[in-house]
């Protein structure tokens, strides 16, 4: 039996967890942790995630933090039918973990920095913007080369590795306005995953009081502000 509360916000890391829960058909409560109001730094939340970031989860008295760790916990414990994961000990399972770690250690951190330099920075650094956007696009190229070879990242089955990378690729097209025409296999994969009912549902969690579009517009206003500043890079 599960007794799950997901602490989350409408972001690529948050929706990795809600999509996974929806795909597994698990009952759960979603608590909104509004990162635009710094709720993630409050003492009560730091007891669930000492790192002060969303998402985090309680399953009964068990805390789980880091989105990749939440996904692994959920499939280890609840995906007994292997709906969105491979069995440990199989070559496909190792691939699944590799692509999940690719997102956790590569795509997520690099695209987050692209977001920081593009939307949130107090100064304008064209070097920072370019460096992290180029690195993010390079990583999209790595996904593209894998998806030319197999329908999903870890083989013939849609898994948590796909969910993890999907929310970031979707975020890149919506926010950084990446054009996926240079990555046709990635675009096809994104379009297909986007249509899954569990994905559609997971992308609406949690209730924030603002639409995703409104949240994105807040960020894009940040970009206008940054582009209005003088570039501060040293020559």
Residues of this chain that interact with ligand GSH (CB under 6 A) are 11-13, 35, 40, 52-55, 66-68, 104, 108
DSSP classification of residue 123: S
Query: What gap in Å lies between CA 115 and CA 119, rounded to an integer?
Result: 6
What is the 3 state secondary structure string of 14-60?
HHHHHHHHHHHCCCEEEEECCHHHCHHHCHHHHCCCCCCCCCEEEEC
CB of residue 207 vs ligand GSH: minimum separation in angstroms?
A: 17
- C-alpha dist (Å) from residue 93 to 70, 100, 103, 157: 16, 10, 16, 11
The candidate with the shortest Cα–Cα distance to 12, out of 82, 64, 71, is: 71
The CB-of-191 to ligand GSH minimum distance in angstroms stands at: 23
First to last CA, the chain: 60
Residue position matching structure tokens 């609840």: 78
Q: 67 vs 85, which CB is nearer to ligand GSH?
A: 67
Kind and range of the H or E run holding 186: helix 184-194
- Phi and psi based region of residue 25 (left: phi greater than 0; alpha: psi -120 to 50; beta: remaining): left
Minimum CB separation from ligand GSH for residue 56, in Å? 8
Provide, rounded to whole angstroms, the least separation between the CB of residue 9 and ligand GSH. 6
The residue among 12 and 202 lying less far from ligand GSH, judged by its C-beta, is: 12
Q: Comparing C-alpha atoms, which of 40, 234, 11, 222 is closest to residue 122? A: 222
Between 108 and 155, whose beta carbon lies closer to ligand GSH? 108
* Residue 21 vs 54, nearer CB to ligand GSH: 54
Q: Looking at beta carbons only, is 53 or 223 nearer to ligand GSH? A: 53
Q: Which is nearer to ligand GSH, 145 or 218 (CB)?
A: 218
Residue 156 beta carbon to ligand GSH: minimum distance, rounded to whole angstroms: 26
Shortest distance, CB of residue 77 to ligand GSH, whole angstroms?
A: 18
């Amino acid at each position: 039996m599960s007794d799950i509360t997901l602490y989350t916000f409408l972001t690529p890391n948050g929706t990795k967890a809600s999509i996974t829960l929806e795909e597994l058909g698990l009952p759960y409560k979603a608590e909104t942790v509004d990162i635009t109001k710094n709720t993630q730094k409050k003492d009560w939340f730091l007891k669930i995630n000492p790192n002060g970031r969303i998402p985090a989860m309680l399953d009964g008295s068990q805390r789980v933090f880091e989105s990749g760790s939440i996904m692994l916990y959920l499939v280890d414990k609840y995906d007994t039918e292997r709906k969105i994961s491979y069995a440990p000990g199989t070559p496909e399972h190792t691939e699944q973990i590799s692509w999940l770690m690719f997102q956790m250690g590569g795509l997520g951190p690099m695209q987050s920095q692209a977001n920081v330099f593009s939307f949130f920075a107090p100064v304008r650094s064209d070097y920072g913007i370019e460096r992290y956007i180029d690195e993010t696009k390079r990583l999209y190229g790595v996904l593209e080369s894998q998806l030319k070879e197999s329908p999903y990242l870890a083989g013939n089955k849609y898994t948590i590795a796909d969910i993890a990378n999907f929310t970031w690729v979707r975020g890149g097209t919506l926010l950084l306005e990446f054009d996926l025409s240079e990555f046709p296999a990635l675009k096809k994969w994104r379009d297909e995953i986007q249509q899954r009912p569990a994905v559609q549902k997971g992308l609406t969690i949690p209730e924030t009081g603002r639409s995703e579009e409104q949240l994105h517009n807040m960020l894009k206003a940040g970009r206008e502000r940054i582009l209005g500043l003088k570039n501060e890079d040293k020559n």
